[in-house]
Amino acid sequence: QVQLVQSGAEVKKPGSSVKVSCKASGGTFSSYTISWVRQAPGQGLEWMGRIIPILGIANYAQKFQGRVSITADKSTSTAYMELSSLRSEDTAVYYCARESSGCWFDPWGQGTLVTVSS
Amino acid sequence: NFMLTQPHSVSESPGKTVTISCTRSSGSIASNYVQWYQQRPGSSPTTVTYEDNLRPSGVPDRFSGSIDSSSNSASLTISGLKTEDEADYYCQSYDSSNHVVFGGGTKLTVL
């Protein structure tokens, strides 16, 4: 079955960027949609955006427009989420998840903690 | 865009039945599928129901999802509560642009 494995924890300075990867195994990567969801400490889930690798098309939540870029490399079955102009409020666990046609997420990656601190 | 509102917390005893609500602020709850996720501390979310009332394989039939147009809400019902059901539960839907909306989450305590 599909498994998503994310890159390791990151510590970043305010104003910098972070790029998190999500490598898929099982199934046909180019036929997936991959979404990114974040969760600040003690808070709920927040959708950031998605990419459809077979089309190379990404779309983003309005809140993150202009600050996030989601890409995919079909040759390595890996999706990426890059968030720029980091601030302390971006400290969160970032998850990738495969999105099914009914707009539900399964499976999820294990999460990547990004800490933004000076 | 719309919001999905959940109670902050619910509690119930083992063996009992609990229902968690998820109310859509505008637009019809029936317009777009609703999903429910379970998240235990320190773990990634997992799907317990999808497309309003379907269960992924491996999820026990103690978990059931439904929608109610009269209250414009979705519900997750867990019967025969077990201590292992103690977790945070999130509802999720999407708008006409396929932008995803999550509820704020409900902490279920099984005492």
Chain B touched by A64 (CB under 8 Å): no
A96 vs chain B: nearest CA distance in angstroms?
10
Q: Which residue of A has its CA nearest to B101?
A: A47
A109 and B90: CB-CB below 8 Å?
A: no
Q: What is the mean pLDDT of chain A?
A: 95
Torsions phi, psi of A63, nearest 5?
Answer: -60, -30
- Tell me the two tokens of residue B44: 């990634």
User: Tens digit of pLDDT for each residue in A59-94?
Assistant: 999 999 999 999 999 999 999 999 999 999 999 999
User: So what's the pLDDT on residue A27?
Assistant: 83
Chain A touched by B90 (CB under 8 Å): yes
Chain B touched by A35 (CB under 8 Å): yes
Distance CA B86, CA B43 (A): 13
B103 and A44: CB-CB below 8 Å?
A: yes
| DSSP state letters, chain B | ---EE--SEEEE-TTS-EEEEEEESSS-GGGS--EEEEE-TTS--EEEEBTTTB--TTS-TTEEEEEETTTTEEEEEE-S--GGG-EEEEEEEE-TT--EEE---EEEEE-
Contacts of B92 in chain A (CB under 8 A): 45, 104-105
Chain A touched by B8 (CB under 8 Å): no
Percent above pLDDT 70 for chain A = 100
Question: Maximum Cα–Cα distance for chain A, whole Å?
Answer: 41
Contacts of B45 in chain A (CB under 8 A): 45, 95, 105, 108
Chain B touched by A73 (CB under 8 Å): no
Query: What is residue A52's three-state secondary structure?
Result: strand
Per-position pLDDT tens, chain B of length 111:
899 999 999 999 999 999 999 999 999 999 999 999 999 999 999 999 999 999 999 999 999 999 999 999 999 999 999 999 999 999 999 998 899 999 999 999 999
pLDDT at A101 over 90: no
User: So what's the pLDDT on residue A97?
Assistant: 98
Give the type of residue at B99: H
Q: Please tell me what DSSP assigns to residue A72.
A: E
User: Which residue do the tokens 């302390």 mark?
Assistant: A88
Q: Assess contact for B50 and B109: CB atoms under 8 A.
A: no
Distance CA B94, CA A104 (A): 9
- Tell me the two tokens of residue A111: 């999460």
Q: Please tell me what DSSP assigns to residue A27.
A: S
Contacts of A62 in chain B (CB under 8 A): 99
Q: Which residue of B has its CA nearest to A94?
A: B44
User: So what's the pLDDT on residue A51?
Assistant: 96
Chain B touched by A29 (CB under 8 Å): no
- Tell me the two tokens of residue A50: 């998605």
Q: Assess contact for B6 and B88: CB atoms under 8 A.
A: no
* Mean predicted confidence (pLDDT) in A33-54: 96
- Residues near A65 by beta carbon (within 8 Å), at least 6 away in sequence: none
pLDDT at A29 over 90: no
Chain B touched by A61 (CB under 8 Å): yes
